[in-house]
A and B are shown apart, each in its own frame.
Chain A
């Protein structure tokens, strides 16, 4: 056996090495995910220091030093501020939220009639839950009940008629108005957005131009300006003697604004449909509306569901802007109640905003989680 001696071939055995350290388990996780490099170690220690600095104080303020019961401002104010708390103590004033909870939910809706919005909310949840669960059948009837029938019933339930006493929209407020505005905006903006998007892709120059101008103008200006126009210009546009309800003006403003954004989202979906789908539908002899309804839109909308939900989330957050034109949605009513002399303490505004923020956050976070779930559910694996 001929032996070659190349310099690059090892001649002797390597010394035995210790067994490798575990590549699983907590210690490995700590080593790779927290203390991988000196830089990581420094960052981890800094982040821990930040958490240790912030979290105990926050928990103290929010829960331990917080005031949970009380009937007026003395419960939440310190001795110097004219209350009963020892000086120097500061904590959230949950008693304020407790005392005003009914207002935060219903605004100034008469107390005896509050079963009406509660009934609407129950109906809404009963219809919404099966709509959201993909396995429940009869989605068409469900949608009809939720988006067409329920709004009519709710309208009469909330405003009165058929033996119920009349409640002016001036008295509506709180979370109720936030939800009404968002639901109405969502229900109107989706079909309107689809029509605008189709119009923007239309072959007819007049219709195309109109849609482009409308979409681009609305997208170029802030929502407060649109609401301002709705509340100042609409009365000017109408013949003498006609008046518009304030809530209706806000509804129109919010819907117009949301539909312009929705149109752009839908257009993105339409553009992503391969040309062959249009041609295939044409060659089957389908009319424009059949083609759009049966072939194009189902695919286009499925593609952009995450963006549609994002637009809904944006719309939900944007409804808080109606407080600028003098309506009392959740944020508006929280701000309004802070000027109540019975409850004015340094901690009242912060507590109120934390409460409102938590409610808004809960709804938006829920929507975004649901959209992530739908994205996974609808992902049929047809990737290009």
Chain B
């Protein structure tokens, strides 16, 4: 009797134990604890090794080095910078340069991409084929090759400064870059900026009023033209009223070099052109598939309502296509920003290039990699948040 009871008890515990092993929850916890333990072990080993290695190389850790004198020159900078400035300021120059080339690249790539994408859908066979050749060409070669092609293949073999190519508006192009007139701001320029802002604010109000009026009375209003007139016209009027306070410093051809004006260096031009052309081929495909994804019935219904083809594109097709286009477009914008780090190949001083120089001088590998992570991740996250907001605004509002 007693033996039996004992027996059944052990089998019970065994059952409980085996059900414990087979319980997915318990297993899950076990696996997670195991993973965490391995991770902690890994991080601990790596940290120990790193600390040892850094001590051996006599490198102090911490971000104090950012206050030190940089001691290197930067070709193109948006803010005042000399080799006496600090590492921190050099990094800031790099961030601004990256942002500059990324923003300009995104704008240009979007314009080319939309044109090519729409051209690929054209009824015109020749135009559609040309657009297809463009897309198939640029999509299938590395962006780095495009940058080097412009930098070493094209701009480097342009004529020297003495034989610069003359472009409109007294600009010159030679192997040292593009020389353009530089605006010099006189007194009262702030008024033009204010007029520009007033123009934008007024346009927003006009747009709201026009939308309200159209909803109430059905009468359309030419918001776009009025807006353009306000945004462009007001600053021009202010400019005239103030007696043209902006003058231009034109580049002048000297004996060996051009003086005056401002210069867009060959590094910037190659990077900017390469990023724009390369990314535009991807944007074109996104635009094309977005427009193709709008059902044909939408166009037919709009036709039946008697809308003109312009109005169909603007009011029916684009708003629906944009919804499909925006998410992949966001990732292309992010790709362009990340690809701007290829600047190092042509010597444009972006974050990565400046970080690399700093590493060579100071040896602060861990800190610089941490800075890279923080900077690139914050750029990515900011862009993603903005585009998500835009996406949510454009998304279909369902009941």
Chain A contacts of B149 at CB under 8 A? 350, 353, 357
- 9 other contacts beyond A225-B369, A225-B372, with CB at 8 A cut-off? A34-B126, A204-B31, A221-B373, A225-B376, A232-B365, A239-B49, A323-B144, A324-B144, A360-B141
Tell whether B292 is near chain A: CB-to-CB under 8 Å: no
Complexed CA–CA distance, A29 and B122 (Å): 14
**Sample of 7 A–B contacts (CB below 8 Å):** A225-B352, A225-B372, A232-B365, A324-B345, A353-B152, A357-B141, A368-B139
Q: State which of B50, B145, B339 has its C-beta within 8 Å of the C-beta of A357.
A: B145
Taking the closest CB of chain A, its distance from the CB of B140, in whole angstroms, is 4
Task: Return the CB mask of A27-54 against B: 1 if under 8 Å, else 0.
Answer: 0010011101000100110011010000
- B140, A220: Cβ atoms closer than 8 Å: no
- A33, B124: Cβ atoms closer than 8 Å: yes
Q: Interface residues, chain B, CB within 8 Å of chain A?
A: 28, 31-32, 35-36, 39, 46, 49-50, 52-54, 56, 122-127, 130, 136-137, 139-145, 148-149, 152-154, 156-157, 338-342, 344-345, 352, 356, 359, 365-366, 369, 372-373, 376-377, 380-381
- B35, A43: Cβ atoms closer than 8 Å: no
**Also in contact, A317 and B142, with CB within 8 A (given A33-B124, A225-B352, A349-B153):** yes
Complexed CA–CA distance, A168 and B373 (Å): 33
Tell whether A297 is near chain B: CB-to-CB under 8 Å: no
Complexed CA–CA distance, A240 and B56 (Å): 9
Chain A contacts of B373 at CB under 8 A? 217, 221, 225
- A224, B124: Cβ atoms closer than 8 Å: no
- B140, A361: Cβ atoms closer than 8 Å: yes
Chain B contacts of A204 at CB under 8 A? 28, 31-32
Q: Is the interface of B mostly helix, strand, loop or mixed?
A: helix
Chain A contacts of B144 at CB under 8 A? 320-321, 323-324, 331
- A317, B143: Cβ atoms closer than 8 Å: yes
Taking the closest CB of chain B, its distance from the CB of A279, in whole angstroms, is 16
Tell whether A373 is near chain B: CB-to-CB under 8 Å: no
Chain B contacts of A237 at CB under 8 A? 46, 49-50
Task: Return the CB mask of A211-247 against B: 1 if under 8 Å, else 0.
Answer: 0000001011111110011001101111110000000
**Also in contact, A222 and B339, with CB within 8 A (given A232-B365, A236-B50, A364-B140):** yes
Q: Nearest CB to that of B154 among chain A residues?
A: A350
Tell whether A346 is near chain B: CB-to-CB under 8 Å: yes
Find the residue from B144, B154, B359 having the highest chain A CB count within 10 A.
B144
Q: Is the interface of A mostly helix, strand, loop or mixed?
A: helix
**Also in contact, A47 and B127, with CB within 8 A (given A217-B377, A225-B372, A237-B49):** yes
- A33, B123: Cβ atoms closer than 8 Å: yes
Chain B contacts of A349 at CB under 8 A? 148, 152-153, 156-157
Chain B contacts of A203 at CB under 8 A? 28
Taking the closest CB of chain B, its distance from the CB of A179, in whole angstroms, is 14
Q: Nearest CB to that of A351 among chain B residues?
A: B153
Closest 9 CB pairs of A and B: A364-B140, A222-B338, A350-B153, A206-B32, A317-B142, A222-B341, A33-B125, A320-B142, A220-B380
Number of interface residues of A (CB under 8 A): 57
Chain B contacts of A320 at CB under 8 A? 142, 144-145
- A44, B127: Cβ atoms closer than 8 Å: yes
Chain A contacts of B31 at CB under 8 A? 204, 207
Q: Nearest CB to that of A45 among chain B residues?
A: B126
Q: State which of A223, A225, A233, A335 has its C-beta within 8 Å of the C-beta of B365.
A: A233
- A331, B142: Cβ atoms closer than 8 Å: yes
Taking the closest CB of chain A, its distance from the CB of B191, in whole angstroms, is 42
- A210, B35: Cβ atoms closer than 8 Å: yes
Chain B contacts of A210 at CB under 8 A? 35, 39
- A34, B49: Cβ atoms closer than 8 Å: no
Taking the closest CB of chain B, its distance from the CB of A8, in whole angstroms, is 21
Q: Nearest CB to that of B372 among chain A residues?
A: A225
- A43, B157: Cβ atoms closer than 8 Å: no
Taking the closest CB of chain B, its distance from the CB of A362, in whole angstroms, is 8
Q: State which of B36, B123, B340, B372 has its C-beta within 8 Å of the C-beta of A228.
A: B372
Chain A contacts of B56 at CB under 8 A? 240
**Also in contact, A364 and B141, with CB within 8 A (given A222-B352, A353-B152):** yes
- B32, A207: Cβ atoms closer than 8 Å: yes
Chain B contacts of A44 at CB under 8 A? 124, 126-127
- A364, B123: Cβ atoms closer than 8 Å: no
Q: Nearest CB to that of A360 among chain B residues?
A: B141
Interface residues of A in 328-384 (CB under 8 A from B): 331, 335, 338, 346-347, 349-350, 353, 356-357, 360-361, 364-365, 368
Q: State which of B123, B142, B359 has its C-beta within 8 Å of the C-beta of A32.
A: B123
Taking the closest CB of chain A, its distance from the CB of B376, in whole angstroms, is 4
- A236, B53: Cβ atoms closer than 8 Å: yes
Q: State which of A222, A236, A318, A323 has its C-beta within 8 Å of the C-beta of B376.
A: A222
Tell whether A205 is near chain B: CB-to-CB under 8 Å: yes
Interface residues of A in 178-220 (CB under 8 A from B): 203-207, 210, 217, 219-220
- B127, A317: Cβ atoms closer than 8 Å: no
Chain A contacts of B369 at CB under 8 A? 225, 228-229, 232-233
Q: State which of B50, B125, B153 has its C-beta within 8 Å of the C-beta of A353.
A: B153
Q: State which of B126, B136, B352, B372 has its C-beta within 8 Å of the C-beta of A47.
A: B126
Tell whether A313 is near chain B: CB-to-CB under 8 Å: yes
Complexed CA–CA distance, A32 and B122 (Å): 11
Complexed CA–CA distance, A32 and B123 (Å): 8
- B127, A36: Cβ atoms closer than 8 Å: no
